[in-house]
Structures are given as structure tokens and as C-alpha cells.
Amino acid sequence: MNSRLIFKQICTLCANHEGGELSLCPACLADLPWHSAPQCPQCAIPTDGSICGSCLSATPYFDASYALFAYDYPLDRLLQHYKYQETLHLAHTFATLLSNQVAPKQHIDLIIPMPMHRTRIKERGFNQALEIARLVAKQNNIKLDYTSAIRTKYTPPQASLAFKDRIKNMRGAFNCHGNLQGFSIAIVDDVMTTGASLNELAKTLKQAGASHVECWVIARTLPKS
């Protein structure tokens, strides 16, 4: 039996003993910034439910985006805790939420995590997108492919760059040596900000034959109101 079901887990956010399988108590889970408002079906920014002006004027290579949360407090702290303090048990939390909220609604042949350059993996010790994708694939019986698409260009962190520089930064950053002809693919990543990284990867996957590419992310950075 899974030990997570035997012992009560401490909530990662408030430290009470009702964290359960997700390591989040019901109150903290409910208080997270769920991205449930009407949104652009292609890039997931808030709209009236129609495709936004940006996607109409410059159509992304990805066909749809699904985000569990807005990148806001305290979810931003939770993700940073996961990425930089190696709290790998949170991969289970994020993967389970993706599996519950997104995966059953889609028809996907293949899951590909956002690739990380080998230099960045050495710096951080793990690829946070891969750890989540591995569990999502297992939970939904979808094939995982973390070898066909690779990151060939070592780039500065996207968060430090302006929008135009992010696009330039990602140009030619990926390579795909697999045959993805006709596959419907979900890219799994932690945060979608401008979508530049996801768009460049989606472009690479479609060049390799993918027929449909969508983005499954934990959080979406939303425009400030």
C-alpha cells in the first residue's frame, strides 16, 4: 500500500497535519489562485472565451493551452520551493492536479516535458518539467517521450528578458530527432509566461510531423489588471 495513504501528510503551505495525498490541506488547496476564468483557448490568457488578439495576429504553433493556476501568491512560492529547494514530492502534487483537471478531457498520444539544457540540469540537479510529466504519463497511461526533443541552446533564464528578447533567445533552441508524424502531443511545463519557449518547442515538434500540440502547465502568468 502507498505510504502516502497510510500517514497523514503535512501541508506544505500551512504545516498542519491534514495535507493528505497532495501535501496540501483542503483550505490551502481551495485558496490557490485557480485559473478558472474565461480564457483564450489557444494561449490561456483571460478573455471572454474567444481567441485573443495576440493569437489572431500571430498564430502560435501550439494549438491549445491549459493552465491549472495563475502564477500568483502562494502558488508562485510553491513552484519556487519545488524548483530550487528540490522538494520533489511536489511533483506528485502538481501531476495529480494536472491529471484530475486536464488530462482526462484531452486525446493525447504522447507527453513531452519541456527539455532542459544539460548545463542547466547540472546546475539544478533535475528537470522539474520531466518529474511532473513522468507522473502525469503514468497516471493517465499515456506514453512519455523525454529523448526525442532536446534543448541544444543554452540560454539565459527567460524571466530576466523582455518579450522581444525572449523570442530571440529561444530561436533555434530545440532539436527533434524523432519521427512524430501524426501524433497529438502535450508539452508539460511548470510556468507559461509569454509562451516563447513553448511556442518554439511546438514549432520544432510540428516540423517533426506532430499534427496537434498543446501546452499543459501548472501556472500561467497573467497580464496585470
Give residue 59's pLDDT. Answer: 96
* Fold type of domain 36-220: Rossmann fold (3.40.50)
Give 38's contacts (C-beta < 8 A, 6+ positions apart): 46, 47, 48, 49
Q: How far is CA 156 from the centre of its chain?
A: 19
**Could you write out the three-class secondary structure of 41-79?**
CCCCCECCCCCCHHHHHCCCCCCEEEEEEECCCCHHHHH
Give residue 154's pLDDT. Answer: 74
Which grid coordinates are listed for 109? Answer: 498520444
Q: Where are the domains of the chain?
A: 1-31, 36-220
Higher pLDDT, 167 or 139: 139
Give residue 176's pLDDT. Answer: 94
Q: How far apart are CA 204 and CA 192, in angstroms?
A: 18
Average pLDDT for 168-181: 82
Give 99's contacts (C-beta < 8 A, 6+ positions apart): 135, 136, 139, 140
Assess whether pLDDT exceeds 90 at residue 155.
Answer: no
Give residue 101's pLDDT. Answer: 92
Using one digit for the tens of pLDDT, what is the confidence trace for 189-207?
999 999 999 999 999 999 9
In sequence order, what are the beta bridge partners of 185? Answer: 110, 213
- Average model confidence (pLDDT) for the chain? 89
